[in-house]
Amino acid sequence: MNDPILIAGGGIGGLAAALALAAKGFPVVVLEKAAELGEIGAGIQLGPNAFHCFDTLGVGDTARAMAVYVDRLRLMDAMAGEEICQIDLGEAFRRRFRNPYAVIHRGDLHGVLLRGCRDNPLIGLRTSSEVLGYTQDAQAVTARLANGETLRGRLLIGADGLWSKVRRQVVGDTPPRVSGHTTYRSVIPVEQMPEDLRWNAATLWAGPKCHIVHYPLSGWKLFNLVVTYHNNAPEPVAGQPVTHAEVLRGFTHIHPKAQQIIHIGRDWKLWVLCDRDPVENWVDGRVALLGDAAHPTLQYMAQGACMAMEDAVCLAHVLDQHGGEHVGGLEAYRRQRVLRTARVVLQSRAIGDHVYHPEGVHAQLRNAIMAGKSQQDWYDTLQWLYGSNGLDGSAAT
């Protein structure tokens, strides 16, 4: 059958899936709702598992050239203004996990994947093509677009994000779970970052019901600021501009050294974070889910996009192994991905409660446990996540 594989969504997951599938010889058409393909102007952290994926996708060198290589993950106590612990990302880390840890501008990451797609004759990219739903029979799946058009494919991959329309039909579940955590993002020129905070680190300041993350971006020209306040916000929000005073409201109780980060941020935008309880029915005949459409997560393990890329690599690998045959291939993909991604979703929630936002004795206990770990302990803790290339389905160690 010559019908292409249809992919709903041209985000990081959808483009990675297009590259991975085309690399196995499958023709692909990406259907993106927006009028232009792109990403928001903020940063993203990439574990070594993301770099394993880049290599499989054939964009390893270009992605490496865009990244900033932070030399540690640093956990700070936002009340005391002091370091709790750090994870060294140097030689020993890279040797153990066979790749580095890095941070990158989302636009650069998306651009790397997009260029790879544009250069591949097996990949078609369509914008202003919102997928509303699908029908299928023994021969093919037909995607229904918002403009009334229908498109026939051998498979349909729903990579259409948190509010996925494909998922609505595959899983038929309720809307995403609103976490009540409000995140504010800002990107500033490096010279506006106080000199004593210009650390070559992905830094997390953890305080009661709030935390702050910052790291350098784009060849050290920018700093990415992401600050989160657990204020029980009831409704999902995405990318809404907010005033400096509103951001500050959640951080008045923390140490001045941490609080100054709120003051230096500019043009803050707000998101109310959502995730979903893990489910296992990601597949309906010729249709499967991928990335946030399948397993949206809070960002506290910095793994949502990494998992989407792992999904892409795994999907292409197992479909190839099954000769493109959909029933066995999609089911094998689902089996390999469900537990690993569920662990990321559930562990991200737990980290929010026990590491990012506790107070009082709970926070003291966090500090005692985290400070007591050796570098070897940290590397062992992270083995299941960073040691895998997404193909072995590793969810335990």
Ligand X SMILES: Cc1cc2nc3c(=O)[nH]c(=O)nc-3n(C[C@H](O)[C@H](O)[C@H](O)COP(=O)(O)OP(=O)(O)OC[C@H]3O[C@@H](n4cnc5c(N)ncnc54)[C@H](O)[C@@H]3O)c2cc1C
Stretch that binds ligand X, among 88-96, 257-265, 303-311, 382-390 (CB under 6 A): 303-311
Closest to 84 measured CA to CA, from 351, 368, 356, 347: 368
Q: Which is nearer to ligand X, 132 or 140 (CB)?
A: 132
DSSP collapsed to 3 states, 312-349: HHHHHHHHHHCCCCHHHHHHHHHHHHHHHHHHHHHHHH
Q: Of residues 137-176, which lie at the interface with ligand X (CB under 6 A)?
A: 159-162, 165
Q: Which residue has the tokens 């919102």?
A: 130
**Does 45 contact ligand X by CB under 6 A?**
yes
The pair of structure tokens assigned to 165 is: 């329309």
CB 311 within 8 Å of CB 18: no
Q: Which is nearer to ligand X, 85 or 289 (CB)?
A: 289
Closest to 7 measured CA to CA, from 111, 112, 153, 146: 153
Stretch that binds ligand X, among 64-72, 148-156, 189-197, 305-313 (CB under 6 A): 305-313
**Does 233 contact ligand X by CB under 6 A?**
no
**Does 349 contact ligand X by CB under 6 A?**
no
Q: Which is nearer to ligand X, 73 or 306 (CB)?
A: 306
DSSP reduced 3-state for 259: helix
CB of 317 to ligand X, least distance (A): 18
Q: Which is nearer to ligand X, 81 or 133 (CB)?
A: 133
CB of 372 to ligand X, least distance (A): 26
Q: Which residue has the tokens 């990406």?
A: 30
**Does 116 contact ligand X by CB under 6 A?**
no
CB of 368 to ligand X, least distance (A): 27
* The one among 34, 350, 368, 369 contacting ligand X by CB under 6 A: 34
* The one among 4, 5, 6, 11 contacting ligand X by CB under 6 A: 11
**Does 32 contact ligand X by CB under 6 A?**
yes
Measure the CA–CA gap between 340 and 270, rounded to whole angstroms. Answer: 29
Taking the mean position of all CA atoms in its chain, how far away is CA 136?
A: 30
| Helix 12-23 and helix 304-321, axial crossing angle in degrees, nearest 10 | 20
Residue type, 167: R
Closest to 386 measured CA to CA, from 48, 18, 26: 48
Q: Which is nearer to ligand X, 42 or 254 (CB)?
A: 42
**Does 305 contact ligand X by CB under 6 A?**
yes
* The one among 216, 265, 304, 329 contacting ligand X by CB under 6 A: 304
Measure the CA–CA gap between 339 and 210, rounded to whole angstroms. Answer: 29
Q: Of residues 179-208, which lie at the interface with ligand X (CB under 6 A)?
A: 183
Interface characters, 260-289, with ligand X (x: CB under 6 A): -----------x-x----------------
**Does 33 contact ligand X by CB under 6 A?**
yes
Measure the CA–CA gap between 309 and 378, rounded to whole angstroms. Answer: 24
Q: Of residues 306-325, which lie at the interface with ligand X (CB under 6 A)?
A: 306, 308
**Does 44 contact ligand X by CB under 6 A?**
yes
User: How far from 28 is each of 128, 133, 278, CA to CA, in Å?
Assistant: 17, 18, 28
CB of 355 to ligand X, least distance (A): 15
Q: Which is nearer to ligand X, 110 or 366 (CB)?
A: 110
The pair of structure tokens assigned to 213 is: 């993350």
Greatest Cα-to-Cα distance within the chain, rounded to the nearest angstrom: 64
Chain residues that interact with ligand X, rule: CB under 6 A:
8-14, 31-34, 44-45, 130-131, 159-162, 165, 183, 226, 271, 273, 291-292, 299, 302-306, 308
